[in-house]
Chain A
Amino acid sequence: MVSRRALLRMSGAAAGLAAPRIARAAEKLVIIGHAVHRTAATSGPGGDVTEGWRRANNVEIEWLTFGVEATNERALKEANLAQGNADLVFLLDRYTGPQFTALFEDLVPWMARDPIPDFAEFPHGMLAAHRFGAIQAAMPFRHATHGLHVNRTFLAERGIATPPRTLDDTMAAIEKLSFTRDGGRVYGLVINMDDPSTPIDWVRAYGGDFITPDYKVVVDQPGAVRAMAAIRDLFRRNLMPRNVVNMKTEDVITFMQQGRGAMTNQPFNRTFNYNDAKASKFPGQFDVLPLPTGIDGKPIPAKTSVWAMAIPRNARRKELSWSLLRHLSLPESTVLEAMNGNGPVRPSAYADPRVMKVVPYAAAEAEALKSARLVVPGFANAAKAMDMFIEEMGAVLLGTKEPQAAMADLAGRVRPLLPA
């Protein structure tokens, strides 16, 4: 029988043996983000950007990844707890707003204490997407800017020599690229309508907009109304899928991969999905280029979204969180992340030969970024306003409302939601 004294001695010895090991064990840092953030930071031609930082700080990173909406929801939920488990979270511009700033560290004082090198390079618009008043709630990490994706095989089959470069050409190409192939229907244009991020490109193509950066609702102006009429026309003429009103991003990917869609306006890096040899029926057949010129002859301002990193107020190791955020924002890190498929928040990354070598659309994306705009500026009711946009646009496509009436209704519903 083991005596109590012997048991105490044994457990003391065991604790002594374990102590140095515990002291050396790496700390764990929890990140809430989307899979694209983990990929950009850890895998691809640019390698694991976090590796050196992890080693230097003796830290392990646990990535908790979710879909777009769920990432934002989970980040807010964790940050709202009395004591959270998340050390760094990713937020998308149109899912956040000034009402949530109390949940996250203001990064301005952190910048003052330990600045990010060459910070002036960060585009003002990207920073503004996550700045509310004087508070910088999150630091841009990734942008997702739209380009026009075209299936080269279909262009050749339909006798279109080059991808369309003007709005008129685009409309003509949509018609020509809608045809029956191998017994199945190919649609000239495929868009997702789970939020306004894709339709907004076409609204802007016709000189319209939804909400301007200074919070003016202009969706009832002629540009947006013309755009709605044009999209309704495409839908009625069967040049867009019958279920376009219910389509999500994933559906667009499936349509393009299966050869059911000839063109779409989506983020540049989606070209990797469309050209994926494992999933696509047309691997290597998709090109992506900047959106064509709009009705005014100028490039259509492409929609962009800005994912940014935030430190929850309830995070337990804020020094470490900032250290990682800063590391991921370094010029060299941005280049490596761009090589891993990330939309770089430092425009200089596009000029890096390593990026140009592995990212075929680098020059086109850099071009598109110059005039890119957010879907809507950040405000407390942005999600509600975007749902209203989709609802009224749906009504136009289904024929229950005329474009002018629907856009007037939309404007009337959204105006009371805007900040005074």
Chain B
Amino acid sequence: MVTPALSLLAVFLLLPSVYVAWLSGHASTYGQGAVFVGWQNYATIFADRAFWRALVNTVVVVHIVVYGELLLGLGLALLLAAPMRGKGMVIALLLAPYAITEASAMAMWRAMLEPDVGLINQALLGLGLEQIEWATERWTALLIASLVAIWHHLPFTFLILYSAVTTVPRELIEAAAIDGARPWQRFRHVTLWVIMPALLVAVLFRTIFAVRIFSEIWLLTEGGPARLTEVLSIYLYRATFKYHEFGSAAATGTIMLLLCMVVALPYLWRLYDRLVRHA
């Protein structure tokens, strides 16, 4: 029964992964056969300061995006789980960014943030404040890219958490209230406990997606100025499409995969622990 599924997994996931791992040990470009170079690609990458900067930027962006989205998504889910008027409209508005392509969204945000003439900067200037210097300041640019990523992907996290929050049995909450639990205690010891599997799934997926963040930063700064806002996926993009160094690109991809696994493993373990070991 499971053979077809395993075969599909092998063809679409395992084989390409094995090929990428194999390629990472070779020097390869257009028009030339792959030449075995051992760990040379990894050594070159680890000696490249741009890689370490990209790694730091990626870790920072992942933390801002994942935890920002989680807090906002959870807050909105709890807010909208309660009876309120116009709930459908609010949810529709919250989901709307997901229907916009990343390229369009970034073009829109970039236009609004354009120095001198963008709506946001004009508003700031009108208030007598300084413009947002996203084009020249590394952390400002990364923060803006992260905020746009949160705005764009919030619907994903929100939907998972909203559906989980609405399934928390009311009797449990009421029982806790009768036992004297305050709102924060009811949330922490009842709601959070019930929605924890969904929350872990949301964190897990968003972490994996966020490690691969590309378009938000590429379309805002292309990793500039001076490669200061480059993240790992842009580092990989350069190796592949600008330098045509496929071995180096494969090594970067493998490192990203390992990074995803390292970040995801604690959450996976927690899920396994919660859903299988102590089910």
Interface residues of A (CB under 8 A from B): 69, 73, 76-77, 79-80, 99-103, 184-185, 193-194, 241-243, 245-246, 248, 258, 260, 381, 383-384, 387, 390-395, 397-398, 400
B241 (CB) vs chain A CBs: closest residue: A73
* Chain A residues in 8 Å Cβ range of B131: 242
Query: Once the chains are docked, how many angstroms separate the CA of A394 from the CA of B131?
Result: 20
Judging by beta carbons under 8 Å apart, are B135 and A243 in contact?
A: yes
B113 (CB) vs chain A CBs: closest residue: A243
Query: Once the chains are docked, how many angstroms separate the CA of A395 from the CA of B131?
Result: 21
Nearest CB of A to B244, in Å: 7
Interface residues of B (CB under 8 A from A): 29-32, 50, 114-117, 131, 133, 135-136, 221-222, 224-228, 238, 241-244
Judging by beta carbons under 8 Å apart, are B226 and A395 in contact?
A: yes
Contact A246-B225, Cβ < 8 Å, known A100-B31, A101-B31, A102-B32: yes
28 contacts between A and B (CB under 8 A): A73-B241, A76-B30, A76-B244, A77-B30, A100-B30, A184-B116, A185-B116, A193-B224, A241-B115, A242-B116, A242-B131, A243-B114, A245-B135, A246-B222, A246-B224, A248-B222, A258-B117, A260-B117, A384-B242, A387-B238, A391-B50, A391-B226, A391-B227, A395-B226, A397-B136, A398-B136, A398-B226, A400-B226
Judging by beta carbons under 8 Å apart, are A245 and B116 in contact?
A: no
Contact A245-B243, Cβ < 8 Å, known A99-B29, A101-B31, A184-B116: no
> Which residue of A79, A184, A245 is within 8 Å of B225 (Cβ)?
A245
Contact A69-B238, Cβ < 8 Å, known A184-B116, A246-B224, A390-B224: no
B230 (CB) vs chain A CBs: closest residue: A391
* Chain B residues in 8 Å Cβ range of A76: 30-31, 244
Judging by beta carbons under 8 Å apart, are A245 and B224 in contact?
A: yes
Judging by beta carbons under 8 Å apart, are B242 and A383 in contact?
A: yes
Judging by beta carbons under 8 Å apart, are A246 and B243 in contact?
A: no
A102 (CB) vs chain B CBs: closest residue: B31
Query: Once the chains are docked, how many angstroms separate the CA of A79 from the CA of B225?
Result: 33
> Which residue of B31, B225, B243 is within 8 Å of A394 (Cβ)?
B225
* Chain B residues in 8 Å Cβ range of A398: 136, 225-226, 228
Query: Once the chains are docked, how many angstroms separate the CA of A115 from the CA of B224?
Result: 46
Nearest CB of B to A357, in Å: 38
> Which residue of A99, A103, A242, A392 is within 8 Å of B226 (Cβ)?
A392
Binding site of A, secondary structure by majority: helix, strand, loop or mixed? helix
Contact A243-B30, Cβ < 8 Å, known A394-B224, A394-B225: no
A400 (CB) vs chain B CBs: closest residue: B226
B239 (CB) vs chain A CBs: closest residue: A384
**Which 5 pairs across A and B sit closest by C-beta, in order of nearness?**
A394-B226, A243-B135, A245-B225, A394-B225, A103-B31
Nearest CB of A to B57, in Å: 15
Query: Once the chains are docked, how many angstroms separate the CA of A398 from the CA of B221?
Result: 15
* Chain A residues in 8 Å Cβ range of B136: 242-243, 245, 397-398
Query: Once the chains are docked, how many angstroms separate the CA of A258 from the CA of B116?
Result: 13
B33 (CB) vs chain A CBs: closest residue: A102
* Chain A residues in 8 Å Cβ range of B238: 387
Judging by beta carbons under 8 Å apart, are A194 and B133 in contact?
A: no
B29 (CB) vs chain A CBs: closest residue: A99
Query: Once the chains are docked, how many angstroms separate the CA of A243 from the CA of B121?
Result: 13
* Chain A residues in 8 Å Cβ range of B242: 69, 383-384, 387
Judging by beta carbons under 8 Å apart, are B226 and A245 in contact?
A: yes
Nearest CB of B to A417, in Å: 10
Nearest CB of A to B16, in Å: 18
Judging by beta carbons under 8 Å apart, are A80 and B226 in contact?
A: no
Query: Once the chains are docked, how many angstroms separate the CA of A80 from the CA of B238?
Result: 19
* Chain A residues in 8 Å Cβ range of B227: 387, 391, 394
User: Among A184, A248, A383, which residue has the most Cβ atoms of chain B within 10 A?
Assistant: A383
Given contacts A184-B116, A246-B225, 18 further A-B contacts (CB under 8 A): A103-B31, A185-B116, A193-B225, A194-B222, A245-B135, A245-B225, A245-B226, A246-B135, A246-B224, A387-B238, A387-B242, A390-B226, A391-B226, A393-B226, A394-B225, A394-B226, A397-B136, A398-B225
* Chain B residues in 8 Å Cβ range of A69: 241-242
Nearest CB of B to A186, in Å: 10
* Chain B residues in 8 Å Cβ range of A258: 117
Nearest CB of A to B59, in Å: 21
Judging by beta carbons under 8 Å apart, are A260 and B116 in contact?
A: yes
> Which residue of B31, B114, B135, B221 is within 8 Å of A79 (Cβ)?
B31
Judging by beta carbons under 8 Å apart, are A397 and B225 in contact?
A: yes
Query: Once the chains are docked, how many angstroms separate the CA of A390 from the CA of B222?
Result: 12
* Chain B residues in 8 Å Cβ range of A393: 226
* Chain B residues in 8 Å Cβ range of A248: 222
> Which residue of A79, A185, A400 is within 8 Å of B30 (Cβ)?
A79
* Chain B residues in 8 Å Cβ range of A383: 242-243
Query: Once the chains are docked, how many angstroms separate the CA of A80 from the CA of B34?
Result: 13
User: Among A80, A101, A242, A397, which residue has the most Cβ atoms of chain B within 10 A?
Assistant: A242
* Chain A residues in 8 Å Cβ range of B222: 194, 246, 248
* Chain A residues in 8 Å Cβ range of B31: 76, 79-80, 99-103
Query: Once the chains are docked, how many angstroms separate the CA of A260 from the CA of B115?
Result: 11
Query: Once the chains are docked, how many angstroms separate the CA of A246 from the CA of B238?
Result: 16
Query: Once the chains are docked, how many angstroms separate the CA of A111 from the CA of B115?
Result: 52
Judging by beta carbons under 8 Å apart, are B115 and A243 in contact?
A: yes
Query: Once the chains are docked, how many angstroms separate the CA of A126 from the CA of B94?
Result: 56
A244 (CB) vs chain B CBs: closest residue: B135
A194 (CB) vs chain B CBs: closest residue: B222
Contact A184-B30, Cβ < 8 Å, known A73-B241, A390-B224: no
Judging by beta carbons under 8 Å apart, are B30 and A242 in contact?
A: no
Judging by beta carbons under 8 Å apart, are B221 and A242 in contact?
A: no
Query: Once the chains are docked, how many angstroms separate the CA of A143 from the CA of B117?
Result: 34
* Chain A residues in 8 Å Cβ range of B117: 184, 258, 260
Nearest CB of B to A410, in Å: 11
Nearest CB of A to B215, in Å: 16
* Chain B residues in 8 Å Cβ range of A77: 30
Nearest CB of A to B118, in Å: 10
Query: Once the chains are docked, how many angstroms separate the CA of A238 from the CA of B209?
Result: 39
